[in-house]
Structure 1
Amino acid sequence: MKVILIGGTGHIGTYLVPKLVEAGHDVVCVSRQQSQPYADHEAWQSVEFVGIDREKSEEHGDFGAQIVSLNGEVVIDLICFTPQSAQHLAENLKGKVRHFLHCGTMWVHGHTVQVPTTESAERNPFGTYGINKAKIEAYLLNFHKEYGFPVTILHPGHITGPGWLPVNPAGNLNPEVFLRLAQGEEITLPNLGMETVHHVHADDVAQAFVKAIANRESAIGESFHVDSEQALTLRGYAEEMAKLFGQVPQLRFQPWEVWQKSVSERDRELTWDHIAHSPCGSIEKARKLLGYQPKYSSLQAVQEAVEHYFQKEGIHYP
């Protein structure tokens, strides 16, 4: 089938494009510019690139029409962040596409009541990103119910892999946390370190998209979590990473009110966002209906990403 991939040269697309090509699909990659994927693969040689600035095109009101003109049977949207953007594209694609797949986020759940969280759990989103993604999900699923629009929504956790840093055991993106753990130095975590993060390797996210296409009848009209098998507590995450580096964990804990004063504003904002959400998603639905089976545990995905970062930066540890 002909697959139109919107935003295909980023984290997910780096792994998704080769999988789509290997599955026998013709792939058209739509992006603002032909940037390089995070990893080389010969499959990219068979991909057609179409340059469209989505933001400008949506301002002109013709983005959906441009996507329709590419005549794809399947459209995958990896970079939709507002309900208006989702509505514009879906209304243009109505009756003109066999399958539409949207990349959502575990953030649609916001505050959860029971863990692991299932897809049927009540939505309690907070923050602009989570609220908008929840609105997009609600709109697309309702569009399916009213008009039969063939949509599938995949909700990844914290995507990681070689080429970008994962959310660290302090709940932010400061690489210093990993460096200190690698050197056997003490790190300080907020509260008791029992909040959770739920990583997923970009390769596994790509796997889920391919399996959703292959299992179209089971996937249409549904949302699926795309995570690793298990989430990590911040404390457990820090302890296991220290051990992977051959170190004895050196951890200290401080109440949030104290801890937040010791870090930068950016680190504070990211940590609060992550510990306030504390995602822990069930993947049983994706496993049962799509045959999704993550290859990476959270720790394996993180370790691969961190080792790549250290190598790239020339960082050595004992």
Structure 2
Amino acid sequence: MSRVVVIGSTGHIGTYLVPRLVRAGHDVVAVSRGSREPYQPAPEWPRVERVVLDREAEERAGTFGSRVADLRPDAVVDLICFDRDSAEHLLEALRPTRPLLLHCGTVWVHGRTARVPVTEDEPRNPYGEYGPKKAAIEALLHAESRRGGVPSVVLHPGHITGPGWPVITPAGNLSPETWRQLATGEPVPLPYAGLGLLNHVHADDVAQAFERALTRPEAVGSSFHVVAEQAMTQRGLAEGVAAWFGRRAELDLLDRDAFVDRVGAEAAGITFDHVERNIAAAIDRARTVLGYQPRYSSLDALHEALTWLVAHGEVDVAGQAF
């Protein structure tokens, strides 16, 4: 049994990870910025020590790392670290005791892929804002492990999906219109002939990988992809979702400019951010080293997410059953 501090404990991954860790017999300290409850209730939460820490404010004061270290962790799971300075601040505080540090990265460290499925050893070529920052953290943590400092493991999820929040649709964005179009048989606009790849993963499968990484010392110093077993094309996802409603997907395949005109610049930008990377991530290493076995396919994860969105009035499927 270990004392595990989970930073960002009530978010997408933490919602599932914290109960998993309690069931596995760990002493869990759940750190979050406020008193918001997790996305899904679980009977294990009353057995969790809850600590409120505003990371941004504490880091400005130079105290966040020491506050975490004072919790006496055997392991720290950091689900909300987004830049190198933040990671370095935490490392400095953890070096005296050297607990295991598990960091949540992203498959976007790869940028536009040259080979698929992309492996964890592929050269990093991220672009934009998010991917390069996560790649810099990954490099920092692995260098720290190599020189005998704080031991770390980096897990790279794909598009995290589950009940309780808007998720990436087959159109590659967050527009609820896509779900309605697929439910009612209206044409769904897609760019690039609908062949852009999306690599979803259910939040509980990500939690599974973090739980397993805690007990795999051979994982230290390595990165692992955490995604569904197979990536899917946009058109494949659209056809799968339409089938839930007893329909064939009606696809309107558009060039880039026409797609922007149809869905608007904001939604189109999110789509291009996702499909132009065209990531299909290999999970062989996670299977071999961590024993990772994803329970959800991309479509399984989307079905659970859509069920919640419809039930809570966040998506209109025009009364269509699925």
After TM superposition, the score normalised by the length of structure 1 is 0.97
**Which letter maps to 2:167?**
P
Q: Which whole-Å CA distance do the structure 2 matches of 1:97 and 1:143 have between them?
A: 11
Deviations 1:225-275 (A, max 9, x none): 000000010111111110122112111101112211222222021011011
SS at match of 1:294: coil
SS at match of 1:80: coil
Query: 1:259-278 counterparts in 2 under 5 A?
Result: 259-278=259-278
Residue in 1 that maps onto 2:184 = 183
Q: Which whole-Å CA distance do the structure 1 matches of 2:164 and 2:268 have between them?
A: 24
Residue in 1 that maps onto 2:320 = 317
Q: Which whole-Å CA distance do the structure 1 matches of 2:162 and 2:201 have between them?
A: 8
Matched, 1:4 2:10: no
Matched, 1:211 2:212: yes
Matched, 1:105 2:106: yes
Per mean C-alpha deviation after superposition, the further-off stretch among 104-113 and 305-314 is 305-314
Q: Which whole-Å CA distance do the structure 1 matches of 2:185 and 2:251 have between them?
A: 10
Residue in 2 that maps onto 1:256 = 256
Query: 1:157-306 counterparts in 2 under 5 A?
Result: 157-215=158-216, 217-306=217-306
What is the CA distance between 1:147 and its match in structure 2? 2.9
What is the CA distance between 1:295 and its match in structure 2? 0.3
What is the CA distance between 1:183 and its match in structure 2? 1.1
Unaligned runs of 5+ in 2: none
Query: 1:41-190 counterparts in 2 under 5 A?
Result: 41-190=42-191
SS at match of 1:214: coil
Q: Which whole-Å CA distance do the structure 2 matches of 1:44 and 1:210 have between them?
A: 16
Contact 2:98 2:149 in 1 (8 A): no
What is the CA distance between 1:205 and its match in structure 2? 0.3
What is the CA distance between 1:281 and its match in structure 2? 0.3
Q: Which whole-Å CA distance do the structure 1 matches of 2:41 and 2:293 have between them?
A: 24
After TM superposition, the score normalised by the length of structure 2 is 0.96
What is the CA distance between 1:278 and its match in structure 2? 1.6
Unaligned runs of 5+ in 1: none
Per mean C-alpha deviation after superposition, the further-off stretch among 143-152 and 40-49 is 143-152
Contact 1:106 1:279 in 2 (8 A): yes
Q: Which whole-Å CA distance do the structure 1 matches of 2:38 and 2:185 have between them?
A: 34
What is the CA distance between 1:98 and its match in structure 2? 2.9
Per mean C-alpha deviation after superposition, the further-off stretch among 103-112 and 244-253 is 244-253
Contact 2:187 2:250 in 1 (8 A): yes
Per mean C-alpha deviation after superposition, the further-off stretch among 279-288 and 31-40 is 31-40
Contact 1:106 1:225 in 2 (8 A): yes
**Which letter maps to 1:21?**
V
Contact 1:108 1:133 in 2 (8 A): yes
Residue in 2 that maps onto 1:18 = 19
Q: Which whole-Å CA distance do the structure 2 matches of 1:264 and 1:250 have between them?
A: 20
**Which letter maps to 1:264?**
G
SS at match of 2:37: coil
Per mean C-alpha deviation after superposition, the further-off stretch among 286-295 and 271-280 is 271-280
**Which letter maps to 1:7?**
G
What is the CA distance between 1:32 and its match in structure 2? 1.1
Contact 2:153 2:222 in 1 (8 A): yes
What is the CA distance between 1:214 and its match in structure 2? 1.8
The alignment of Structure 1 onto Structure 2 pairs a total of residues equal to 317
